[in-house]
Chains A and B, each alone.
Chain A
Amino acid sequence: MSYSDWEVVIGLEIHAQLKTDSKMFSEDSTQFGGGDNKNTSPVSFGLPGALPVTNEKAVEMSVKTGLALNCSIREKSVFARKNYFYPDLPKGYQISQYDEPICEEGYIDILLDGEKKRIGIERAHMEEDAGKSTHHGEYTLINLNRAGVPLLEIVSKPDMRSAKEAAQYARSVRSILRYIDICDGNLEEGSMRCDCNISVRKPGEPLGTKVELKNINSFRFVEKAIEYEAQRQVDLKEAGEEIHQETRLYDSTKNQTFSMRKKENAHDYRYFPDPDLLPVIVEQSWIENIKNNLPELPLKKAERFQQEYGLPEYDAFVLTTEREMAEYFETTAKACGNAKSASNWIMVELLRRLNDADQSIEDSPIKADMLAKLIQLIDNKTISGKIAKTVFQDMYDSGKDPEAIVKEKGLTQITDTSAIEKMIDEIIAANPGQVEQYKSGKNKLFGFFVGQVMKASKGQANPEMVNQILKSKLDS
């Protein structure tokens, strides 16, 4: 999409729910399912006298994320209170970080249409989630199970210039978060939330007035919402109108954004350091230790897969989106010694089935070592590629060892010359008419004979050998 000579400027605020067992400042569980308001305590409920206590695991996960996003980590960061009234905010303030966030000044590289681009990260700070209000006409119900769940808000720089780029950035961040295992990254369920700041300008001009988009629950909608909003702003500008600073919600059914609240009398949150909490102090040696234990991150892995296994860029990229997928591929490739084949089987046969069933690689009934065995059976000519597909389906359905399936069903490829010769002799004897025609120049009939032999061998005869022997017998 193009907006004539307008430039779209996009920044993203990603809220990642940290995968801790307990909440940011209390012992309350983060595992829901016990019922409304079950995961609460005096702290989550904001009772008189309740005090927050920092969850160290959440700090560790935040540092880990900061490092994965190439941020510098503050040795001393401070929790601050963001004061505002809302019924699902039990204390009347949210504990967040303000001018001393734990992570600052990072970046990630994203790959889009074969090109690498660096997106800056301004900061990532820890905070607690609010509760959830549900409105029922005359009344509103509040569930505080979410209240206090730890979040890391990752704020990008306004470095993105298209909806596609923004969506790709969001996917890349998600991929990293899942690699380092600190967040489920589930937009639909809200364990990852994405707010987009969008403005338009003529290239070279200062930034235009930004509009914030909230409530976007899939990467596809990130792209669509930004496209819609950018176009809306360009149209307004073209018509000589002003953009108002506001928060807009995206309605995916209408593919439109609509105004939620004007920011004309912008909230004064009266941030100040939370006196109930000590500053978060992290030692350099501790940070180093986390850094040294970071896994290989997606983009690095994709680059390595291209070099080490000779995979095309696209394949390498797809196979590294999820850490488990990459591990699956690598285990298979190493075990069978045929990376190209491993990549093909995963990308074509396995992913199609998993995607159809809405399953992830961990759910695959075919484990990596079994797929490797199958590839080896093809490579050592025990079975043909064609037979392998049926064996694959059998493996997928039953979870059995391919060797067992081949043995059980007698699918081993026939490579015994005398056996093939015997079959061919019988076919020639049974079809004198066709032999006559072939010999008189109807070369096309060669295929007929191959088909008959394969049929007679139930597909198990080695096709190359069939070709070769048939040719010599017919042409003699």
Chain B
Amino acid sequence: MSDILKSSISELKEKLDSKQVKPSELAEAYLGQINKLNSDINAYISVNESLMDEAKALDSKQEKGELSGKLAGIPLGIKDLLCVKGQRNTAGSKILENFVAPYTSTVSQKLLDEGALVLGKCNLDEFAMGSSNETSYYGKVKNPWNYEYVPGGSSGGSAAAVAAGMAAATIGTDTGGSVRQPASFCGIVGVKPTYGRVSRYGIVAFASSLDQAGPMTRTVKDAALMSEVISGHDPYDQTTAQEAVPEWSKSLKQDLKGLKIGLPKEYFTDAITEDTKKVVDNAIEIVKKRGAEVIEVSLPLVKHAVPVYYLVATSEASSNLSRYDGVRYGYRSDFSKKPAESLEEFYSRTRGEGFGSEVKRRIILGTYCLSSGYYDAYYKKACQVRRLIRDEFMQAFNSCDVMLSPVTTSPAFKAGERINDPVQMYSNDIFTTSTNLAGLPGMSVPGGFSQEGLPIGIQLTAAHFQEQKMFDVAYSIEQELQLKEVPNVL
């Protein structure tokens, strides 16, 4: 069964189509791995209790040859930020501890419509606010490659699950790098689609103008397949694009002739560790070898990306998180012993007890940015700079097709190392936030390892709705490298 846990979706599909394996056997294998490792890795907050029933229903379909759908019988994990009807949806927070979603997010529905099985809900930083998966109320997630290290965040549980064979693939969300960075730290593929590609309906909002769900997979082809399944206009999300969704997984090319790859010089700084530099340089050689022309591009304004990101994201978050007030659902402070004397006390006690400190920090920061007297200097100014950053990227994409860079300055850091220093933690997002600010598609593809054996990813960024080019570059790197290493736990 161990090779099942290492298989890509494409490989699993072959096995299912040729009836070498039943959907219930797949589900059982992954469930077994979850049962074995979750107490250590903590990748899941909850496991789907009706999984085996759902899988057995697919068995009979398989027998009759009726197993249809791009993901039929494939066991997936979903970040605990996307509502799935009947399952708990905690957002990694105490304030939603007992919240069972009464409806299904569009992304989850699209996966279910293609026959996917939901293994459970993956751990994450509380409300997706974090870069190390250490802020979850349900405990931190460990990096399957080395338990002393963080898996990255906020989609740390989704990344760790794929790396440790606890899911064939997962869905994460990326607001400032929350798919790409943990994918890089855990040695898997992670995609943040163009803003507007994927519906946000049913996904707990962190920063509405930046949030985008994306797949986390073992291979580029799986990522392309999952991306095409979850993309598309949604009448329930006005910000989704009408753009047609190509079948990316069927058009992957390794030949990069005619493609121009831009290296943003601002991303190649002294802050990058030697190991990361080596891995990135190697990727540059690969794309050259595959026929791409490599040029230097400049994005002078991206140096402002982190502060701009933290102003925009926290402002939106401060408003988005107002609905968690204990009135209609979710955690409510225990007022039976000491009743609230005012409405204000009702809110402050409920929210004070329900939110963790990182979430509170961001709500306070965002509230401050939007306050009268500060709005112009912070929120409005940040939006203006954001537009300039976007323009700058669009300008740069006139001279190249895809940008290649590190995802972060270094591979995964140790748990506890940065959690008490928000500024150092936030600076981890230095290469990823600008992609969200500009609304561009971006991804992380495994590029190699550090001397300690920790994975290092390569970040690829394309122009709006040009995912295909980005997938092609990632595919060529993947095919050239043929990385076979897996964590010891597999």
Interface residues of A (CB under 8 A from B): 42, 45-54, 81, 83, 85-87, 90-93, 142, 268, 270-272, 275-278
Contact = CB atoms under 8 A, between A and B. Distances in A.
A278 B240 CA distance: 10
Given A270-B319, A270-B371, A272-B375, A51 B236 contact: yes
A268 B205 contact: no
Nearest to B312: A275
Contacts of B372: 268, 270
B328 interface: yes
Nearest to A53: B238
A91 B318 CA distance: 12
Contacts of B371: 268, 270
6 contacts: A49-B89, A83-B322, A90-B328, A275-B209, A275-B316, A276-B205
Contacts of B83: 47-49
B329 interface: yes
B202 A81 contact: no
A42 B236 CA distance: 11
Nearest to A49: B202
Interface string B132-168: 0000000000000000000000000000000000000
A254 to B, nearest CB: 27
Most buried by B among A47, A48, A54: A48
A276 B207 CA distance: 10
Q: What DSSP secondary structure best describes chain A's contact surface?
A: loop
A48 B323 contact: yes
B325 A92 contact: yes
B189 to A, nearest CB: 25
B343 interface: yes
A31 B317 CA distance: 33
Interface in B314-337: 315-316, 318-319, 321-325, 327-329
Contact of B201 (A46, A51, A54, A142): A51
B102 interface: yes
B323 A51 contact: no
Contacts of B324: 48
B238 A42 contact: no
Given A51-B236, A268-B372, 15 more contacts: A42-B102, A42-B103, A47-B83, A48-B323, A49-B105, A51-B200, A53-B236, A87-B327, A92-B323, A142-B328, A270-B371, A275-B207, A275-B239, A276-B205, A276-B238
B370 interface: yes
Contacts of A46: 323, 328
Contacts of B347: 85
Interface string B82-98: 11000001010000100
Interface string B64-88: 0000000000000000001100000
Contacts of B323: 46, 48, 90-92
A85 B342 CA distance: 13
Contacts of B82: 49
Contacts of A42: 102-103, 202
A126 to B, nearest CB: 15
B258 interface: no
B426 interface: no
The B interface, classified by DSSP as helix, strand, loop or mixed, is loop
B391 interface: no
B237 interface: yes
10 shortest interchain CB distances as A-B pairs:
A92-B322, A275-B208, A275-B209, A270-B370, A49-B202, A48-B204, A46-B323, A91-B323, A49-B203, A87-B327
Interface string B359-370: 000000001001
B107 to A, nearest CB: 10
Contact of A48 (B91, B237, B319, B343): B91
Contacts of B316: 275
A50 B89 CA distance: 13
Contacts of A276: 200, 205, 208, 238-239
A123 B204 CA distance: 34
A268 B318 CA distance: 14
B237 A272 contact: no
B343 A87 contact: yes
A373 B102 CA distance: 62
B322 A47 contact: no
Contacts of B325: 85, 87, 92
Contacts of A45: 328
B162 to A, nearest CB: 23
Given A268-B372, A270-B371, A50 B322 contact: no
B319 A83 contact: yes
B238 A92 contact: no
A425 to B, nearest CB: 88
Contacts of A268: 371-372
Nearest to B380: A272
Contacts of A48: 83, 89, 91, 96, 99, 101, 204-205, 323-324
A46 to B, nearest CB: 5
A434 B325 CA distance: 95
Nearest to A88: B327
Given A46-B328, A270-B319, A277 B238 contact: yes
A364 to B, nearest CB: 44
Contacts of A87: 325, 327, 343
B169 to A, nearest CB: 21
Contacts of A81: 319
